[in-house]
Structure 1
């Protein structure tokens, strides 16, 4: 006989996730710093949480909100500083339990969660958030006042990549749905072939293209894209140490130029 203890849910804490990745780290103990990076992103790999939550309690908490889908959740990490490598760090989480470390965006459909996730993780959105952050965490009230691009605006803009909204959704799903737990969400977004392989070189290209697309969607000129990218000094410093150039900026500008020609 199966009991509730046999079906407890992992509690996803903010420090377990990273950009487009809910499996960035596992707990190896019960302390706040007892956490280690996860290097296994195969479709069946899981990360270990610090806490497990009963399905009943999780359902009670979910009932406090209205959800546009029950296949996944979108969260961005609460703890952040405008002096970090990145400030807005968002990921699509498997439907279940999440901690205070994630601020959830409840209400949108599965497709809209993907579109918002890509937007939250863009350098353009990150730069905007940094202008209003004065503490080492993201106030929900501040976040709710940030400008965002609508679905209609994306559908109206031709960047030479087909329907821009559908393209953004598909690219976000490809980055996020790398494990079996997000396959149902991916299918709701029209991507029935998930989970996808964790291909680092391909992920770098996709992320650069998404960043370029959102610079266009926000109406940012090329010179301003160049400036904004230079306001992320840690990203620049790491790129120069690893590749001898600011590779992230170059890839984004190249993608931006390709889209501009359309």
Structure 2
């Protein structure tokens, strides 16, 4: 080890004054450490190990969250990163609960080649993409606005206009999308079927057949519709990106995102909106490709500790910068062209 260290350029660049200052710093840490009080493991880490690592130049590190004493074999107490960009959770400053060292290593490599969607690690908000998080309708608090088809026809004298929209004297009514209705690149993944006899969970996912998917005019049936006047989207926006809030690390996919048409959207399908005036559809397709990447889903699995995919998790997920999509090429096509074509083909299917 001594020979290896002496061959490193950073070591050779250190002067005598630097080494003397380091020695003083390390001695100060050791002198403050209460050896006579028999400190436990946690105190040793807090008062000795981590201060020494910081003195040695490891300014970028993450402490492991110790939420459960079970299933933690081969899990590191902390991670050291060579730069802020490689941190797994730059905003919260905590490490995911990795199942193994290999998971930690792979996550570190992924973040070394990508950036967080929104980075708040330096007390300023740096967005890789100009996006913001939004929810439209709260399924409990806003339920007074919801109408079933039967209620629309009986109370509003509503009539179908096509495409899941109903008209009435009071205005148009749009479908209320919920998380179960979408899947990966699919805004027609399921209808909502209601079994009123099931008091615990009356609304369930209704299967959509291949024949229905082959019909471009097919639209999934929602449980409710909402007044179009209550649908809050920027002017001129006819579609947006939504992802499923209910997510499990044990499912085939944890991050499930898709483009959905202009509609009411429940809080089980949060929205990712553009917060600038650009509103470039091609950029939105690239971001959707990011969200559908296996590498991003793999990292999401490391972070999802419950059945909810909260925004503080999503904004720390690794994404590719827009400019990098344009600069990387595959033969005659840029990465941007390849990804856009793939996303449009999958979403259209």
Shorter-chain TM-score range: 0.5 to 0.7
CA contact (8 A) 1:20 1:91 kept: yes
What CA distance in whole angstroms lies between the structure 2 residues aligned with 1:112 and 1:138? 23
Shift of 1:121: 1.2
Deviations 1:186-218 (A, max 9, x none): xxxxxxxxxxxx4xxxxxxxxxxxxxxxxxxxx
Q: Distance in 2 between matches of 1:32 and 1:106?
A: 31
Decide which of 322, 333, 336 is 1:162's aligned counterpart.
Answer: 333
Partner residue of 1:85? 252
Q: Of 279, 282, 289, which aligns to 1:111?
A: 282
2:230 maps to what in 1? Answer: 57
TM-score by length of 1: 0.61
Structure 2 partner of 1:44: 217
2:171–2:227 Cα contact (<8 Å) kept: no
Question: 1 CA distance for matches of 2:281 and 2:345?
Answer: 14
Aligned to 1:98: 265
**Are positions 1:150 and 2:315 aligned together?**
no
* CA-CA distance at 1:32 after TM superposition: 4.3
| 1:115-130 paired onto structure 2 within 5 Å | 115-130=286-301
CA-to-aligned-CA distance 1:173-194 (integer Å, 9 cap, x gap): 12113xxxxxxxxxxxxxxxxx
Is 1:28 equivalent to 2:193 in the alignment? Answer: yes
5+ long unaligned stretches in structure 2: 1-158, 160-166, 196-200
TM superposition shift of 1:12: 0.9
**C-alpha distance in 1 between matches for 2:177 and 2:169:** 19
Q: Report deviation, 1:161.
A: 5.8
Name the CA distance, whole Å, in 1 between partners of 2:315 and 2:303. 12
User: Which of 131, 134, 148 is 2:305 aligned to?
Assistant: 134
**Helix, strand or coil: the match of 1:91?**
strand
1:175 and 1:78 map into 2 onto residues whose CA distance is 21
Aligned-partner SS, 1:102: coil
Larger radius of gyration: 2
8 Å Cα contact 2:171/2:228 also seen in 1: no
Higher helix share: 1
Match of 2:184? 19
Q: How many residues align?
A: 172
Q: Supply the distance in 2 between the matched residues of 1:4 and 1:37 (Cα, whole angstroms).
A: 33
More strand by share: 2
Paired residue secondary structure (2:273):
coil
Distance change >3 Å, CA 35–CA 122, structure 1 → 2: same
Segments of structure 1 that go 5 or more residues without pairing to the other structure are 178-197, 199-262
Whole-angstrom distance in 2 between the partners of 1:36 and 1:135: 25
Task: Tell me how far apart the structure 1 counterparts of residues 170 and 176 of structure 2 sit (CA, whole Å).
Answer: 14
